[in-house]
Amino acid sequence: MAEKSKLATYDTQKILEQMKEEYWHGLSEAEADTQEAQLQLVTFWLADEFYAVDAPLCKSIIKVPGIVRVPQVPEYVLGVVNLRGRITSVVDLRWLFQLKLNPLTEQARLIVVEVGELNTAIITERVVEITNRPAAELKPPATGSTQVRAEFVKGYYEEEAVIEGQAKKVLLIYLDLEKVLHSREMTVDYRAR
C-alpha cells in the first residue's frame, strides 16, 4: 500500500511540473506574439523637418558648446569641440542635405554619435525625445517627401506634431546614419587640397 501511495505522489509531482512548464511556455509564446520589434530612436528637428536616428549609436546629447572653426574643411563641418578630452568634429547635416539654414537657438543640441570607429557630433535645431517606435509601422522611403537622398533614409513614420501651436501631420524621417556618415560627401580628403 505504501508503494502505491508513493507512485501516486510521483505521478502528481510529474504532472504539476509538466503543467508548470506548459504554463511558462505558453506565457513566453503569448508575450512574443504581443511584443513586436521596436526601434529605439532619437528624434530631432532640422530645417522644419522631423528626423530620427538609431538611439544605440548616440553616446550623448549636449548643449552646443563653443565650436572651434577649422580652416579648409567642407561647409558641413562646423568645426570641432572638446568633449571630455576628446576632440570631436561637429557636422551640420543641413548643408549636406541642402536644407534651409534656420538660425540656431537655445534649443539647439549636439547629438554625439559613434558609428564604427567614427566619432562625431551632429548639430540639431532641437532634440525632441528618445522613443520607441514599432518596426512594423516603418514605411519605405517616399520619393519627393524630403530633400534627403533616398539612400540615406531607412524609412519614415507618419506623426502628429505641434507646430506653432497647431497639431499637424509630419513625416518622421528615419536616417541611415551609417550611410550618411560614411558617404563620399562626408569624407574629407586633405591630400586633394
Give CA–CA dist 171/159, Å, rounded.
Answer: 6
State the pLDDT at residue 164: 76
With the C-alpha atoms ordered 94, 154, 58, 134, is the resulting torsion angle positive or negative?
Answer: positive
State the pLDDT at residue 160: 84
State the pLDDT at residue 145: 64
Strand 166-175 relative to strand 49-54, pairing: parallel
* Order of all β-strands in the sheet with 58-63: 58-63, 109-115, 118-124, 86-91, 77-83
Could you state, in order of their start, the residue ranges of all structural domains in the chain?
Answer: 38-187
State the pLDDT at residue 134: 95
Q: What is the DSSP letter of 68?
A: B
Give CA–CA dist 45/136, Å, rounded.
Answer: 23
pTM: 0.76
Give CA–CA dist 161/63, Å, rounded.
Answer: 23
Query: What grid cell was written down for 152?
Result: 540615406
Q: Which CATH number fits domain 38-187: 2.40.160.60, 3.40.50.150, 2.40.50.180, 3.40.640.10?
A: 2.40.50.180
CA-closest candidate to residue 148, choices 164, 118, 172, 167: 172
Query: What grid cell was written down for 128?
Result: 525632441
State the pLDDT at residue 55: 96
Q: Give the pLDDT confidence of 73-86 residue by residue, as tens digits.
A: 888 999 999 998 99
Phi, psi for residue 23 in degrees, rounded to 5: -60, -50
Q: Which residues of the chain have pLDDT under 50?
A: 7-9, 33, 190-193
* Order of all β-strands in the sheet with 166-175: 126-134, 38-46, 49-54, 166-175, 153-163
State the pLDDT at residue 193: 46
Q: Give the pLDDT confidence of 90-119 residue by residue, as tens digits.
A: 999 999 888 999 999 999 999 999 998 889
